[in-house]
Amino acid sequence: MPAAYEQYLVPVVFRPFAEDLAERATALHPRRVLELAAGTGVLTASLLAAAPVAEVTATDLNEAMVAFGATRVPGAVWRQADAQRLPFPDGAFDLVVCQFGVMFFPDRVEAFTEVRRVLAPGGRFLFNTWGPLAAHGFEAALQAGLERAFPADPPQFFRTVPHGCADPAVVAAGLTAAGFTVEDEQELTLQGRARSTSDLVTGYLTGTPVRAAVEECADGTAVRTTVIQEVTARLGPGPVTAPMTAYVFRAAA
């Protein structure tokens, strides 16, 4: 899954936002940076390029992602870690960053509280979350394809997890409950560009947890064909461009 995620989804969906988040992080002049839910290291690499003097520790709950990321971005220190039980001392970092990861935390307030614990006084927590599913051109089309391919019980992963944290007021309330002061909250829409809908669908069906539903299906090839047909009908065969909306938060410990 990490290889498919890196090949098909990172350049199209995640790199544009990683570059934005790295630029925002660099403006804070960090020295000790902790990254949560680092995945295969797209933000990690952008951080090291933008702030080469910073010490970056990249973590992810998924050991396969950590192993892949450590090979791809060896300039960071990589560790497997649960965001709700971080294996670091109090005040160890002056910046914690997270790209599209907080939606996966089972208890966001607990995770935010851990982030605040490992931040030095006055440290910052910088992260982004996806907006509503309808505001993500690629994933809205993909969900429509899944609903066509699985008419009785379509996978709801994209609706409930990546886009399940799409109310910025709820996110801000969680930060406040954890003791943070929300300094900035912005809506950001960037354009994603995919070489083809076939590549895009391949990435989503093999590089995300939806993969399990496809593999459990009796005819995974038919599922892929149906999803490609629906995405192509909505976006064209490719190259395709679609808007993707996210929210960016900066909070102070």
pTM exceeding 0.75: yes
Q: Determine the Cα–Cα distance for residues 146 and 130; give it in Å rounded to an integer.
A: 19
Cβ within 8 Å of residue 178, ≥6 positions away: 109, 112, 113, 115, 116
Question: 32-75: per-residue pLDDT in tens?
Answer: 999 999 999 999 999 999 999 999 999 999 999 999 999 999 99
pLDDT tens per residue across span 14-40: 999 999 999 999 999 999 999 999 999
> How much is the mean pLDDT over the chain?
96
Of 1-5, 45-49, 192-196, minimum mean pLDDT range: 1-5
How far is it, in rounded angstroms, from Cα 109 to Cα 146? 32
Q: What fold, for 2-252? A: Rossmann fold (3.40.50)
Task: Give the pair of three-digit tokens for residue 196.
Answer: 């083809």
Domain ranges of the chain: 2-252
Coil, strand or helix at 188: strand
